[in-house]
Amino acid sequence: MSKYLLRRLLILIPVLAGISLILFTILAMAPGDPFEELATNPNVPAEVRMNLRAKFGIDDPIGVRYIRWFSSMMRGDWGFSFASRVNVDTLILQRLPTTLIVLGSAQLLAILVALPIGTMSAVRPYSIFDQIATTLAFIGFSLPTFFTGLLFILLFSVYLDWLPFIYRADISATGWRFYWEHLRQAIMPVAVLGLFQGAALTRFVRSAVLDVIRLDYINTARAKGLSEQVTIAKHAVRNALIPVVTLMALQIPTIFTGAVITEQIFRVPGIGSLLISAILANDTPVIMAITFVFSCLVVTLNLVADMLYGWLDPRISYR
């Protein structure tokens, strides 16, 4: 496995370099100018604007700009934000933990919802429980996250006044109150993302478990005297998780897209809201850095999914 992991890590280098080249070229060819505000400001002399453009290399060829950016990034210099007037890596490090906490909690919630409900639906197909779970799952992944987020705000914040609908990073409380306030304001964004992903996973878990429990080795396990709970949990669910892990790996870009929308709805100070602000301000260094970070996370999590296959199914060998 160590050789396989090393080979995959070496493959990641040209993959990420190619992704960065494509992203940089698309952003460089996109319309807009980060110094457009200075160009329309009569108080800024023309020579100052020209000096700034020369300093940041705005008018250089795309190839020269990409090589300069990539070499700087390899040295740990991710550029300078034109809008915030701070280093890009500082902005990302401030926002990334919040996004990872929200996304990680939402994905954990999705798994905790999908595994038991999907398994019970497969064990009792076409029962009342299965029909109710299937209906709720269809409704769950049919509704977009921005609509569900607005419903949550109206219900739990406006009508019931239970939860805050704006995520604040500057909570002045201390001690257990500090963690309680963070938990209260994270409930709705985590629930919106987690239930959306959980609804899709529930249908897939049901289908995967339903296929596995009909196989001969499940009947053999039952014939050997194993209880139904042990047979389902140890033999059926574990093998059914292999296609589920594949689906989760394929859904990673969708998860990040949903996080961008959800962070805007609940004003979560994460990477998603920073990306929207950078796009509106045409802050190219920030946009490039965030999209590249998302790409790195997607590629890394897909590698983690591939490594989980060997743990779920010992028959899979890495060469």
Q: Encode pLDDT of 174-188 as tens digits.
A: 777 777 877 888 888
The share of the chain scoring above pLDDT 70, in percent, equals: 87
- For 157-177, b/e burial (b = at least 16 CB within 10 A) is beeeeebbbebeeeeeeeeee
Cα gap 265→192, rounded to integer Å = 11
Beta bridge partners of 80: 87
pTM here is 0.78
Burial category of 283 from C-beta neighbours within 10 Å (exposed 0-12, middle 13-18, buried 19 and up): buried
Contact 284, 27 (CB under 8 A): yes
Q: What is the mean pLDDT of residues 51-78?
A: 77
pLDDT of residue 79: 78
pLDDT tens for residues 122-145? Answer: 888 888 998 999 898 888 888 888
Using alpha carbons only, give the angle 50, 52, 57 rounded to the nearest 5 degrees.
95
Give the three-state DSSP class for 87: strand
pLDDT tens for residues 65-121? Answer: 888 888 888 887 787 787 777 888 888 888 888 888 888 888 889 889 888 898 888
CA-to-CA separations, 158 to 143, 150, 155, 162, in angstroms, rounded: 21, 10, 6, 8
pLDDT tens for residues 247-296? Answer: 777 777 777 777 788 888 888 888 888 888 888 877 888 888 888 888 88
pLDDT of residue 10: 83
The share of the chain scoring above pLDDT 90, in percent, equals: 1
CA 297 to chain centre: 8
pLDDT of residue 164: 82
Distance separating the N- and C-terminal Cα atoms of the chain:
7
Give the model's confidence band at 62: pLDDT under 50 very low, under 70 low, under 90 confident, else very high: confident
**Which region holds residue 63: left if phi is over 0, alpha if psi is between -120 and 50, else beta?**
alpha
| CB atoms near residue 230 (< 10 Å) | 12
Q: Running DSSP on this structure, what letter comes out for residue 24?
A: H
